[in-house]
Amino acid sequence: MTNSINHPWGISKKMREKMGNTWADMDFSINPRLSTVNMRERLMEQPVGELHLANLDIKMKYSDLMRLNKHMKKYVNKSYHSSIEEKFTVEVKSHTFFLNKKEIQRLEETINITTKSVIRKYELGLYL
């Protein structure tokens, strides 16, 4: 899995116990079949990969990724002053998740890094 963003297999057992399985298993796998032609001609419809969240694999297009990136800032702000035990509803495409503050922050971080990585790889010409 070289196209993984969070590398969940590298998380220690101690960290997994502290943060929980949802936090530890959260990842985004970038589609290895992205191409420069598709990125240039129809960027928003380009399937960029799968979000792995709470034992679900959610296929994401670039437009879904951008929309989620925008909404994640709202979720982070909403959960900022909350306790770690408090859960919030987070909508990802047609799925509803109940995540705590740390999981929301991790999801926002993952989506933000994925958005930047996909565009940076395109700019550098790494999709051949």
- Give the per-residue pLDDT at 33: 83
Look up residue 38 and give its two tokens.
């598709």
pLDDT band at residue 127 using 50, 70 and 90 as cut-offs: low
The answer to whether the beta carbons of residues 92 and 58 sit under 8 Å apart is yes
CA separation, residue 66 to residues 9, 48, 83, 118 (Å): 26, 11, 28, 11
| Band (1; pLDDT cuts 50, 70, 90) | very low
pLDDT in tens, 23-34: 999 999 998 888
pTM of the predicted model as reported, rounded to 2 decimal places: 0.90
Quickly count: other Cβ atoms within 10 Å of residue 108's Cβ: 20
- Token look-up 């995540």 returns 99
Domain ranges of the chain: 8-124
Of 14-18, 35-39, 96-100, 114-118, give the lowest mean pLDDT range: 35-39
Q: What CA–CA distances, in Å, run from 127 to 42, 53, 61, 79, 124?
A: 15, 26, 16, 37, 8
User: Cα–Cα distances in Å, from 68 out to 21, 36, 37, 43, 74?
Assistant: 22, 23, 24, 16, 10
Q: What is the pLDDT of residues 42-98, one digit of tens each?
A: 889 999 999 999 999 999 999 999 999 999 999 999 999 999 899 999 999 999 999
